[in-house]
Structure 1
Amino acid sequence: MNILYKNISDLLIGFGLNIHHRTITANFSNIELNSQLFLNYFSLYHEINEGVRAELICVSISDSIPLKRLIGCQVAVDVRTEKNQLFRTTGIITSAELGKSDGALTIYKIILEDATSLLRYNRNSRVFMNKSIIDVIKIIFHEWQQRSPLFAKSLALDLRNLKKTYDIRPFIMQVDESDYSLITRLLRSEGVNWCIDESQLFVLSHGHSIQAQKLKLIDHNGQFSQLDRREIRYHPSSAVEATDTITNLIAKRRLQPTSVHVQRWQADCLKQTDWPGSSLSNHRHSDYYDNYYLSLEQSWHLTPAWITDLKGQDVATKSSNTQLEKLNLHLTRYHDLQAKKFVAQGTVRDVQVGYYFELNGHFEIDQHAFNEKQFLILKKQSFHHNNLPKDFNETIDKLLQINQWNIDIGEEKQGCQLTLVRRHIPVVPEYNPQLHKPIAYPQHARVVGPQNESIYVDEWGRIKVRFLFSRIENNSHDGGSGSNDNDTDSAFVDVLTTWAGEGFGSRFLPRIGELVVVDFFNGDVDRPFVMGRIHEAERYPTKFDVQGSLPDTRYLSGIRSSEIDANGFNQLRFDDTQGQISAQLQSSYASSQINLGQLSHPKAKETSADRGIGFELRTDDYGAVRAGSGLLLTSYEQTAANGDHLDAEEAKKQLNTNQAYSQSLNNIAKQHQTDEIESVEQLKVFAENIQQDIAKFNQAVLLLSSPKGIGLSTASDIHLSADTDINQIAKGSVNISTQKNFITHAVEKVSLFAVKQGIRLITAYGKVDIQAQTGEMDLVADKTLKLTSKKKTIEISAAEEIVLNVKGNYIKINGEGIEQGTKGESRVYTSKHSILGPKSIDFTLPQDPFNEMFVLKDPKGQPVAGFAYKIVTGDGKVFKGVSNEKGETIRLSSGFDVTQLEISADDSKEE
């Protein structure tokens, strides 16, 4: 060999070889490489739903070709067919190795792959909203074509073989996943085949420009094309043939599952759906047992169905049983596809994966119907070896051995092995719901929503989040959705809660801006849910009472909320500090609180000052305690809550005892012919409302009781009001003291009775005025009755007559004069006795302030008792009251003009 040649092409030409008329030829997009490298060996692996990978062994007289000059270079390998046509396979160099050299020749091993291999090198995390799988693939392809010139000129997307429509999914996510993995798992999930094909399978010359390959998406067997040669003949390898043939055909059958069952949770109807149930395959696997009795079932528990916007504001397809039915059919068809295949071996050079042909000349196949003689190529493995002079071949073989590149070229210069399936057998990609998905781990996200909202949820309490990995540059296709920091960044996401009953449970809705931790149902990145929230950096853990920080306040636990767009809060705080254990329910508005236990001031550190023990119910604003069935306020002890909560037996005993004392006093009053306390029995009835055995009240009573006293104090007024009676009973004294007036009014009567020590009515200053304005007055004493004026006069006046009578002896004074009478002696002691003429003293008797009343009668003339009335006078004065048993109103005045009065029922609610 002459080492003075410029390149390998000159060398081969020097040996009399036509380099352009070889079995295989490589055409590099880098023109310099076409003269530097000569293709000696070419092996190909090409499979539907996979891709193209080829290995090239090239020879050069240069051992210094930079390998990076090879990487990314497009290559077209032309195989010369039986008809002297050039059958082309293209690709991109993704790997190159520099082999050993013998000083004259150097070998290079080159790996050629289709352009989808570039997708494997790109790893990304992003989201897509309201897109079908075809939409997502088109977006990714467009982005690749925009940013990668190599990809743009190497691969085109061919959608012409798609005949079905595809669901619009509300949410698709890519997480630490290559673009290749994302695209292929989406295609697998919908049963769409993908296949690499050439834009031109045949070219006229080696110098023909390299065209982009096609990524063909196919969803129906009817879309597969037939080879240009249309048929291939079967002929055993023992015969010498001038045309390419299949020399060996092997049928392979493998046992597969005979039925498929799929099920998933359907949240919008709250049930596990499994339509259409367990589906038997139509493919018969055994002559001995039908599919039912083989009973080889694959049952899949799938990811929960996606749920669209509850108001239908997105454009996503609503999940339904149709999706389960399609998946069931997909899995069944894949098992049928795997059940029987054919492996063909031969010398056919112009065959392509994803095409079908008719096989003729096979003794068994020829007996079948026409449609069963057509075979679709699923996989192709081939090799081709250029025929070079013996010295060249020996040198190359030695270099291959030195490099340990185990390539057994052998005697055959070319051959192929095809994996076939009958054309009418539906072809679908393999899909394992548990394997064909990226690994999903819990991750951070931020709660988002529309502007001017603090909490944004749907009817189910689902929220929207921005996944923190989402980058602006990945979302330009959809108005930035995914990285807008608003409600366009995701579909609605479920939120895990500790309790979710039907209209009841716990509810703590995440707020916009909060950090949440997201996990995924069934490990499926397209089904996220919020599992909790997290504090980090300046998003400090809960500060009770808006003070303190961890670890100082580590003994506090509970919940504190935050007022929307303001500074208030609500909190439930548990303080487990030793010696200060307490609980608090608080609203910051008006410092409204319930405090229980060993109370202390809010903690900014580990401990704080004590402020009492027991409980406190307080507010700076209004307060109300309301109990519709009864209320007990007591300071009687019930240690450790060891009794019923309405246990008021002590109060009941006290009420009964005092009722007995009062009844005894009532009996004495009756003996003395004075008024009884008519409501004494009511006290007994009141006490009977307190049931001891079951500790409840029979009526809605309010009971206050204390063993050590009750204090009632105010800096203003105290008002006691009752529609019936007010009873005050004491075993001791009832003492009333006032700094101003003591005024008692009674519509009917006032009665005072003392058993032992009498009644004293004394005024230190001012007049004592006792009147019976419309009735009589009796002053009776069992002994002496004294009328004394210490400093002035005693005046006794009467409108008609005054009678003084002692045992029949009398003095009578009236308008006629003075009359005296006695049955005994009349004795007068005087120092002087004068009898003068007539004389009188003018004297005006006190006038009644009001002497007129009204009597209310019904149409029959009967008095109306207990009638609430309102009387309005001509000058606008208003009198209200309730008529007595005789139908009488209160006395209003004197000399009313009755024509100016208006009497009506009093419908007001005022007391």
Structure 2
Amino acid sequence: MPLLLGEPALVVTRLQGEESLSALYNYTVTATTPDNSNISWQAASAIDIKSLIGKQMTLRIALNDWRTDTGTEKAYREITGIVQQVRYLGRRNNCALYQMVLRPWLYLAELTSDFRIFQNKTVTEIIGEILADYDFPHEKRISETYPPLEYQVQYGETDFAFIQRLMEAWGLYWFFEHQGQQHKLVIVDNIGAHKPFFAGSPHVVGYDQQTHENRKEYIAEFHHLQTLTSGRWVTNDYDFTRSRADIMSLDSQPRQTSFNQQEIFDWPGNYGDPATGDHLARVRMEEQGAAGSRSQGSAPVPTIVCGCVFTLDHYPLAKANCEYLVLGTELDFREITERTGKADFSLQCHFHVQPVTKIYRHPRSVPRRRTYGPQTAIVVGPPGKEIWTDEYGRIKVRFLWDRYGKNRESDSCWLRVSQPWAGNNFGGICIPRVGHEVIIDFINGDPDRPLVMGSLYNNVTMPPWELPENATQSGWISRTPGGGRANFNGIRFEDKPGLENYWEQAERDMSRLTKRDEEQVIGRSRAVTVGANDALSVAGESSLLVGGALGISVGGEQNDNVGGAKGINVGGAFMTAVGGYHSVVVGGAHQMAAGGAATMTAGGIFCINSANELVISAPLVRIIGSGQLVLQGGQVLINPGDCQNCGGGGGGGGGAIIGKPGIPGILGGTGMVGLSGLPIPTESPTESPTDTPLPTPTETETPPWSPPVG
């Protein structure tokens, strides 16, 4: 308090204000400068009111005018607060008038807003973490156990609005205890946490509407109210991990009135566990039930205090004489002299109460924050991880508004990712990778329920091909984790007129399965290059139709294995050129047919072997040995059909070589020739230098060979 001439510069003349459960109280203090002729009104008007802002101020109301049994600990009722506003009202005679507004320290939480994420913390832990930023006393008197909340966001809310919203949702409420020139915040969830104003003894206040005789502490007015309320609360929500489960919760506490079954259905309930839903439904139903039985009154006493309990006595309605919890008060105190405390005064206290048989639940006054349109975020994960996901394909992100984020997997909850199609083990899926920018939207606009809707390019993650010069290209390019720009699987469509193209790449292996028929039509050329092996397996028939030439070039070996028959039909010439050895092995019969001439040429020996019989058949057969012709066999038969007793001796002596002397003898004296139509040479006479030998009657000139006609 500032001083004027060594004495307090301000004297309180009036105190009025409101204080309620789960509400920031507001007390207005009117004060004047001392009525001292030595203090000019100019000096009285020059008090530095700015220096009072933010200061903590305590007002004391002496209680001995109302009770004689207050004791030393409760000789005063204190009202403490922080000076939130000071106003200079003007001059009154030689004094200056001022007005100050006192607010609780929790009012400071209305001056701070933030975007923060809380994960896997109970509601009381979140509240404690927020209040830890304020160096003021607070206490929790709670009896219930609260579950950890997977994900809660303070989304641009003031600290006060955020914790108030959480407490209202979960059934917690609060009030202040003023004592020892401090005001302590007390957070409660049960009626047993409230105490009488005078600790250690019940606080009984009698009802006395008329006489007020022999009563310093009495209630002058008291009105008991009964109100029609809803009797059932139903809530529901959805948990995608139990998508077929019914997690609806219902709580019914109908009061003994008509129309007590009216039902409120609340959706979404903002829960995933049925037990949590039951708790939230019960809290809302308790709120409805408590609001049905309330009372209000007035008393010229300062001892009916918000958050305390007292017992009403001597009220005409007998059932109203019970213990009450003070929900709120409106206090008006006039002409309090700070220096002596002996000036005349008047006091009036209006109050609102409810029986302690009903637990108090504060109505939900703070709405949930809503988002307006989508946002973007950056995908995060553990160090060294390029892809970070779970069994549902969810990812984690760092929101751009999250100034506490560390670009780690702890920056958010798991976010479901929208996919082009999602079925039971079928559909499409693309997992956004660490460092990618993604589009975020929220279910029902709730910041606590984010979804990934898509991805965006930025200056760090650029498109897969240069733009705008390749604006006609579209497609899909992946990236091998840890790889570079060349390591990917992809497809690409080029729509530039005249250059339309479809392109695909498999970074390593490619597999394709067609469970029935497959047809491929190529309008022009096709080229296939295989860097290593190529295998084709056809379970049924296979056909190859080539309209023009077909060339097959094999750098190594080629093996054809045909389990059945094989036919080769060539409409024109057919040539086989073998640079080395050529072998044909036929397990059964072998037939070669030529419509025209047939020629077989060997650069070395030419052998024909038969295990049984060798037949050379033609209208004309010529066997020509340009050097020598040798026919060798166990028996050599010439025209065997004309020789009945042809035979030779045993052993090899029976053989003969055509063209050697003695052949006719070997063949018998018949004069037959073994190779019909061919000349049998005889011994030539001795040559003379001047005689030219003439052919014998048995010799004929051999005409030049020509192929048979037809």
TM-score interval (norm. to shorter): 0.7 to 0.9
1:553 to 470, 480, 488: 470
In the alignment, what sits opposite 2:329?
380
Q: Which residue identity does 1:334 align to in structure 2?
A: E
Q: Output the CA distance in 2 between the equivalents of 1:452 and 1:562.
A: 16
In the alignment, what sits opposite 2:543?
703
In the alignment, what sits opposite 1:609?
none
- Please give the per-residue CA displacement for 1:274-332, whole angstroms capped at 9, x wherever unaligned: 4444x33232343xx4x23xxx2211122554xxxxxxxxxxxxx53111111111111
* C-alpha displacement of 1:457: 1.7
* C-alpha displacement of 1:80: 3.2
Q: Is the 8 A contact 1:812 1:820 kept in 2?
A: no
Q: Is the 8 A contact 2:286 2:359 kept in 1?
A: yes
Give the CA RMSD over aligned residues: 3.5
Q: Which residue identity does 2:59 align to in structure 1?
A: V
* C-alpha displacement of 1:424: 0.7
2:360 to 427, 442, 455: 427
When structure 1 is superposed on structure 2, of 523-532 and 810-819 the one drifting more is: 810-819
* C-alpha displacement of 1:255: 3.0
In the alignment, what sits opposite 1:50?
23
Q: Output the CA distance in 1 between the equivalents of 2:83 and 2:173.
A: 25
* C-alpha displacement of 1:379: 0.9
In the alignment, what sits opposite 1:361?
314
Q: Output the CA distance in 1 between the equivalents of 2:510 and 2:392.
A: 33
Question: Which consecutive segments of 4 or more residues in structure 1 shift more than 6 A?
Answer: 29-34, 590-593, 612-617, 809-813, 823-831
Q: Please give the secondary structure, in 1, of the residue aligned with 2:196.
A: strand
Q: Output the CA distance in 1 between the equivalents of 2:7 and 2:536.
A: 98
Q: Which residue identity does 1:298 align to in structure 2?
A: I
Q: Is the 8 A contact 2:336 2:345 kept in 1?
A: no
In the alignment, what sits opposite 1:861?
none
Higher relative contact order (CA 8 A, sep 6+): 2
1:63 to 45, 61, 76: 45
Q: Which residue identity does 2:17 align to in structure 1?
A: L
After superposition, the Cα gap between the structure-2 partners of 1:701 and 1:489, relative to the gap in structure 1 and judged at 3 Å, is same
After superposition, the Cα gap between the structure-2 partners of 1:801 and 1:738, relative to the gap in structure 1 and judged at 3 Å, is closer
After superposition, the Cα gap between the structure-2 partners of 1:616 and 1:285, relative to the gap in structure 1 and judged at 3 Å, is farther
2:601 to 763, 767, 776: 763
* C-alpha displacement of 1:56: 1.3
Matched, 1:821 2:659: no
Q: Output the CA distance in 2 between the equivalents of 1:619 and 1:820.
A: 72
In the alignment, what sits opposite 2:152?
172
When structure 1 is superposed on structure 2, of 515-524 and 553-562 the one drifting more is: 515-524
- Please give the per-residue CA displacement for 1:487-532, whole angstroms capped at 9, x wherever unaligned: 2333333222222222222221121222223333333323333232
Q: Is the 8 A contact 2:30 2:100 kept in 1?
A: yes
* Counterpart mapping for 1:634-645 below 5 A: none
Q: Is the 8 A contact 1:29 1:74 kept in 2?
A: no
Q: Please give the secondary structure, in 2, of the residue aligned with 1:358.
A: strand
Q: Output the CA distance in 2 between the equivalents of 1:740 and 1:328.
A: 93
After superposition, the Cα gap between the structure-2 partners of 1:824 and 1:336, relative to the gap in structure 1 and judged at 3 Å, is closer
Q: Please give the secondary structure, in 1, of the residue aligned with 2:129.
A: helix
Q: Is the 8 A contact 2:305 2:329 kept in 1?
A: yes
Matched, 1:197 2:181: no
* C-alpha displacement of 1:129: 2.5
1:298 to 256, 264, 279: 264
Q: Is the 8 A contact 2:247 2:273 kept in 1?
A: no
In the alignment, what sits opposite 1:135?
125
Matched, 1:104 2:94: yes
Q: Output the CA distance in 1 between the equivalents of 2:436 and 2:194.
A: 52
2:54 to 72, 87, 91: 72
Q: Please give the secondary structure, in 2, of the residue aligned with 1:330.
A: helix
* C-alpha displacement of 1:92: 0.2
Q: Which residue identity does 1:563 align to in structure 2?
A: T
* C-alpha displacement of 1:732: 4.7
Q: Which runs of 5+ in 2 are unaligned?
A: 34-40, 68-74, 338-343, 513-521, 655-664, 674-678, 687-710
* Counterpart mapping for 1:244-263 below 5 A: 244-263=217-236
Q: Output the CA distance in 2 between the equivalents of 1:270 and 1:39.
A: 64
Q: Output the CA distance in 1 between the equivalents of 2:234 and 2:103.
A: 38
Q: Output the CA distance in 1 between the equivalents of 2:472 and 2:581.
A: 57
* C-alpha displacement of 1:189: 2.1
Matched, 1:747 2:570: no
In the alignment, what sits opposite 1:537?
459
1:570 to 461, 475, 489: 489
In the alignment, what sits opposite 2:103?
113
Q: Output the CA distance in 2 between the equivalents of 1:57 and 1:506.
A: 70
Q: Output the CA distance in 2 between the equivalents of 1:512 and 1:166.
A: 34
Per residue, is there more helix in 1 or in 2?
A: 1
Q: Normalising by the residue count of structure 2, what TM-score does the alignment of the two structures yield?
A: 0.80
Q: Which residue identity does 1:462 align to in structure 2?
A: R
After superposition, the Cα gap between the structure-2 partners of 1:753 and 1:248, relative to the gap in structure 1 and judged at 3 Å, is same
* C-alpha displacement of 1:450: 1.9
In the alignment, what sits opposite 1:449?
381
Q: Is the 8 A contact 2:236 2:249 kept in 1?
A: no
Q: Is the 8 A contact 1:55 1:111 kept in 2?
A: yes
Q: Output the CA distance in 2 between the equivalents of 1:574 and 1:525.
A: 39
Tell me how many residue pairs correspond in the alignment.
Answer: 631
Q: Which residue identity does 1:530 align to in structure 2?
A: V
Q: Please give the secondary structure, in 2, of the residue aligned with 1:42.
A: strand
Q: Output the CA distance in 1 between the equivalents of 2:682 and 2:103.
A: 158
Matched, 1:226 2:196: yes
Q: Output the CA distance in 2 between the equivalents of 1:764 and 1:459.
A: 73
After superposition, the Cα gap between the structure-2 partners of 1:241 and 1:574, relative to the gap in structure 1 and judged at 3 Å, is farther
- Please give the per-residue CA displacement for 1:77-122, whole angstroms capped at 9, x wherever unaligned: 2223333742111000111222233573322221110000001111
* C-alpha displacement of 1:192: 1.0
* C-alpha displacement of 1:29: 9.0
Q: Output the CA distance in 2 between the equivalents of 1:463 and 1:361.
A: 66
Q: Please give the secondary structure, in 2, of the residue aligned with 1:705.
A: coil
In the alignment, what sits opposite 2:630?
795
After superposition, the Cα gap between the structure-2 partners of 1:592 and 1:300, relative to the gap in structure 1 and judged at 3 Å, is closer
Matched, 1:440 2:371: yes
* C-alpha displacement of 1:359: 1.0
* Counterpart mapping for 1:839-858 below 5 A: none
* C-alpha displacement of 1:71: 0.6
Q: Please give the secondary structure, in 1, of the residue aligned with 2:89.
A: strand
* C-alpha displacement of 1:267: 2.3
After superposition, the Cα gap between the structure-2 partners of 1:357 and 1:264, relative to the gap in structure 1 and judged at 3 Å, is same
Q: Output the CA distance in 2 between the equivalents of 1:431 and 1:565.
A: 51
Matched, 1:469 2:469: no
Q: Is the 8 A contact 1:260 1:331 kept in 2?
A: yes
Q: Is the 8 A contact 2:635 2:647 kept in 1?
A: no
1:584 to 503, 507, 512: 503
Q: Output the CA distance in 2 between the equivalents of 1:511 and 1:33.
A: 71
Q: Output the CA distance in 1 between the equivalents of 2:621 and 2:13.
A: 153
* C-alpha displacement of 1:178: 1.3
* C-alpha displacement of 1:59: 1.6
After superposition, the Cα gap between the structure-2 partners of 1:90 and 1:624, relative to the gap in structure 1 and judged at 3 Å, is farther
Matched, 1:157 2:138: yes
After superposition, the Cα gap between the structure-2 partners of 1:241 and 1:703, relative to the gap in structure 1 and judged at 3 Å, is farther
Q: Output the CA distance in 1 between the equivalents of 2:236 and 2:105.
A: 37
- Please give the per-residue CA displacement for 1:192-223, whole angstroms capped at 9, x wherever unaligned: 111112135xxxxxxxxx2x211111111122
Q: Is the 8 A contact 1:440 1:520 kept in 2?
A: yes
Q: Is the 8 A contact 1:560 1:572 kept in 2?
A: yes
Q: Which residue identity does 1:51 align to in structure 2?
A: L
Q: Output the CA distance in 1 between the equivalents of 2:162 and 2:583.
A: 93
Q: Normalising by the residue count of structure 1, what TM-score does the alignment of the two structures yield?
A: 0.64
